[in-house]
Amino acid sequence: METVQNQTVLITGASSGIGFELARLFARDNYHIIMVAHHVDKLDHAAWQLQSEFSNVRLNTIAIDLSKDDAPSRLFNHVQQQGWQINVLVNNAGFGEYGLFAESNLEKELAMIHLNIIALVHLTKLFLPYLLNQGSGKILQVGSVASFTPTPLQSVYGATKAFILSFSEALQEELKDSPVSVTILCPPATDTNFFNVAGAQNSKIAQGDLATPEEVASTAYKALLAGDKRAVPTFKAKIQVAQSAILPDALNATLMHKQSEETTKPKKSSSKKTSTTTVVSESAALPVTEAPAPVTATRKRSTKSSSVTNLDSAAASVAAIDPTIAATGLTADNLTASNTEAIPTPASKPKRSTKKTQ
């Protein structure tokens, strides 16, 4: 199906929050959207929601843990194999980890560095020459107001966002005479799943005045299409950025520390543990899956309950065309219903004996 604009956008972290709202804006303008995120069921649900709202939009979903070393290459190769011509890359996937660095979760922080920095650099490395060759293209890099200040209690997160700002501003200079633009989005604290994943839901910042993902995405979308260098949504965030530029870093750090403290005494809560499991442990086990064909607009909500089965069954089709790829417990029976595929990571590749049982 041809889109009105005949343009394709690939959005990482498109299953919720800012990424999902960006996908919605691209859908409204009838882009072909490739939605990338980690967890299959959530992504499947997001695609269903979008397709319900925009029945004619062309959607593909790819579930992949981008914190893994080879994930960006596998994603890029897959996009190439499918023949999708990307016009816009949105590097949005990211998460944080809350707590004193001496006590916070190293495994989660290393995965965060992999996702927020390494995957973003790697995807940019792969897609930028491609866009340059194509003669046009746009890249949105999702930083933060935290890109401009040290962030005590989210020390690693803030550092990853500072990296994104520095890296992307360098690219803007290198690309200033090129047909490819790089826009940096610097959202303020926004009402998404971010604080739950970071374990920061009790922090003053999370319980304060939050921007909506819709307004953040709207500012980002306009700036991206205009080829602007920077998008800072909300007046408050603009003040924050200006303040960070004026004040010495040590003072910025003190102010940020105060804002980030917990409002109630820490129940160093179970939610933090839960989020760690979600982001780190599950990530190691999840396969890379793709739903290459659109989720139909008529798809009933009830099919969602079987989305895992459908995705699993789709994995069988990939296993069938690539003998090096197999998936556990799969049948191809539901393939038509879900139109999903799976490309398991090398780590999750099942043993031969499993495949024989298919």
Residues that bind ligand NAP (CB under 6 A): 12-19, 37-39, 42, 65-67, 92-95, 115, 142, 144, 187, 189-190, 192-194, 197, 279, 283
Nearest residue to the partner ligand NAP, using Cβ = 17
Catalytic option among 31, 98, 130, 157: 157
Work out the angle at residue 40's Cα, subtended by the Cα atoms of residues 300 and 206, and round it to the nearest 5 degrees: 100
Instruction: Give CA–CA dist 295/298, Å, rounded.
Output: 8
Complex with ligand NAP: residue 123 or 335, whichever CB lies closer? 123
For the bound state, the minimum distance from the C-beta of residue 37 to ligand NAP, rounded and expressed in Å, comes to 4
Instruction: Give CA–CA dist 60/10, Å, rounded.
Output: 9
For the bound state, the minimum distance from the C-beta of residue 111 to ligand NAP, rounded and expressed in Å, comes to 7
The answer to whether 43 and 16 are in contact (CB under 8 A) is no
Complex with ligand NAP: residue 80 or 281, whichever CB lies closer? 281
CA quadruple 252, 141, 58, 25: dihedral positive or negative?
positive
Task: Copy the structure tokens of residue 312.
Answer: 């699993």
Token look-up 């307004």 returns: 215
Work out the angle at residue 271's Cα, subtended by the Cα atoms of residues 270 and 272, and round it to the nearest 5 degrees: 90
Active site residue 31: no
Token look-up 């879900």 returns: 338
For the bound state, the minimum distance from the C-beta of residue 42 to ligand NAP, rounded and expressed in Å, comes to 5
| β-bridge pairing 8-12 and 32-37 | parallel
Mark 197-215 as b/e (b = at least 16 C-beta within 10 Å): bbbbbbbebbeeebbebbb
For the bound state, the minimum distance from the C-beta of residue 341 to ligand NAP, rounded and expressed in Å, comes to 17
Residues contacting residue 132 through CB under 8 Å, at least 6 positions apart: 178, 179, 180
For the bound state, the minimum distance from the C-beta of residue 64 to ligand NAP, rounded and expressed in Å, comes to 6
Beta strand extents in the chain (DSSP E only): 8-12, 32-37, 59-63, 88-91, 137-142, 180-185, 230-231, 288-291, 341-343
The SS3 call for residue 87 is coil
Complex with ligand NAP: residue 6 or 73, whichever CB lies closer? 73
For the bound state, the minimum distance from the C-beta of residue 60 to ligand NAP, rounded and expressed in Å, comes to 15
Complex with ligand NAP: residue 99 or 187, whichever CB lies closer? 187
Complex with ligand NAP: residue 132 or 228, whichever CB lies closer? 228
Complex with ligand NAP: residue 42 or 230, whichever CB lies closer? 42
CA quadruple 84, 163, 257, 238: dihedral positive or negative?
negative
Known catalytic residues? 157
